[in-house]
Copies of this chain bind each other. A is one copy, B any other.
């Protein structure tokens, strides 16, 4: 390592490391500024002798591709680039096959690395491709959206969509490293900052009322990309890591808590076509508010807690009601039917994450579709 490279290898004091101590698949999440430019050094230090293929989309490539590839090149990792179209529609069989084909054409071996540079779509797609090429290559997540940094890049869920629903095809495949460069969020549109923020708020709502209280005080700083941002991302990654270690493959129910707002939210997103009309974090925000309102109706949760959840999400600029979603809304039957195609369905009964209060969520594994239908008929009038 030459003297000119040493500034890259010394981790600066403003980088936070969160460990994900999964047995046999432990990895680190590094959070802080400048990590894309230092990616080559970080990867070369951890994975001696690997070669690297970067998977990214056209937009992210324009913003960060050159910085990442040149960092990898300086570290001697022989980077190759695979660029797919931007957007959710790249999470499909056709693009998966194309990425897999390019990885094989680049003659990447089992011990080589796939680097996923982008938001959740790229992480899910590239992670899945790395899981199935030669029955499993290693991969590194370099999430460039807030949503990906606090949620999808951690925990090993990979996959693609099908006409039957989102994320219905995929595997659990843990990354070997996550580099969350907070500088990459500087150019993120405010709407996508807010959407990512919904997943941050989720961690407080699930089981950490103190963190939710901190967010009520500090959300403006987080959204303005102040120093509070790194703290919020790190707290979120720590919360997610805790849950993933407890229940890596969603078998015990612990991991299911991360789906707070997601059963309602996925149905809304599915109806809206997974596009600009309702982006994922917005669907989650509406879904979390609905989960709290449903919990109030069921006599589980104090109305004041649901009101506080709604007030905070609205203060962060997020939608909380079906009437906040532009355009026509699906009828109750359609939404319940969309929920029934969820991966977590068991014997036709619906699973929801409900709340006894802020920071007191639990898995309700046996909710009758009729109860949801009836709730929706009232909730849509708000």
Contact surface of A with B, Cβ cutoff 8 Å = 49, 93, 96-97, 100-101, 104-105, 107, 109-111, 131-136, 157, 159, 162-165, 168-172, 249-250, 340-341, 343, 345-347
| Chain B residues within 8 Å of A165, by CB | 104
| Chain B residues within 8 Å of A96, by CB | 93
B97–A249 contact, CB under 8 A?
A: no
Q: In the assembly, what is the distance between CA of A348 and CA of B109, in Å?
A: 9
Q: In the assembly, what is the distance between CA of A347 and CA of B110, in Å?
A: 10
B93–A171 contact, CB under 8 A?
A: no
B171–A101 contact, CB under 8 A?
A: no
A164–B104 contact, CB under 8 A?
A: yes
| Chain B residues within 8 Å of A159, by CB | 132, 135
**A165 closest partner in B (C-beta):** B104
Q: In the assembly, what is the distance between CA of A325 and CA of B107, in Å?
A: 29
| Chain B residues within 8 Å of A171, by CB | 131-132, 135-136, 171
In the assembled complex, the CB of A151 is this many whole angstroms from the nearest CB of chain B, namely: 16
A164–B105 contact, CB under 8 A?
A: yes
| Chain B residues within 8 Å of A343, by CB | 110, 134-135
B162–A104 contact, CB under 8 A?
A: yes
Q: In the assembly, what is the distance between CA of A170 and CA of B341, in Å?
A: 25
With known contacts A104-B162, A163-B101, A164-B104, A172–B133 Cβ distance under 8 A: no
- Supply 11 A–B pairs (Cβ within 8 Å), ascending by A: A101-B164, A104-B165, A104-B168, A107-B341, A132-B132, A132-B171, A134-B343, A135-B157, A135-B171, A135-B249, A136-B249
| Chain B residues within 8 Å of A341, by CB | 104, 107
| Chain B residues within 8 Å of A157, by CB | 135
| Chain B residues within 8 Å of A101, by CB | 162-164
Q: In the assembly, what is the distance between CA of A122 and CA of B347, in Å?
A: 27
**A92 closest partner in B (C-beta):** B97
In the assembled complex, the CB of A211 is this many whole angstroms from the nearest CB of chain B, namely: 28
| Chain B residues within 8 Å of A132, by CB | 132, 159, 169-171
In the assembled complex, the CB of A42 is this many whole angstroms from the nearest CB of chain B, namely: 22
| Chain B residues within 8 Å of A170, by CB | 132, 135
Q: In the assembly, what is the distance between CA of A164 and CA of B97, in Å?
A: 12
Q: In the assembly, what is the distance between CA of A250 and CA of B136, in Å?
A: 11
In the assembled complex, the CB of A26 is this many whole angstroms from the nearest CB of chain B, namely: 16
**A164 closest partner in B (C-beta):** B104
| Chain B residues within 8 Å of A163, by CB | 101
Q: In the assembly, what is the distance between CA of A97 and CA of B95, in Å?
A: 12
Q: In the assembly, what is the distance between CA of A341 and CA of B101, in Å?
A: 13
Q: In the assembly, what is the distance between CA of A238 and CA of B81, in Å?
A: 45
Q: In the assembly, what is the distance between CA of A96 and CA of B109, in Å?
A: 23
A100–B162 contact, CB under 8 A?
A: yes
A346–B135 contact, CB under 8 A?
A: no
In the assembled complex, the CB of A128 is this many whole angstroms from the nearest CB of chain B, namely: 8
In the assembled complex, the CB of A244 is this many whole angstroms from the nearest CB of chain B, namely: 14
In the assembled complex, the CB of A238 is this many whole angstroms from the nearest CB of chain B, namely: 24
With known contacts A93-B97, A111-B346, A343-B110, A169–B136 Cβ distance under 8 A: no
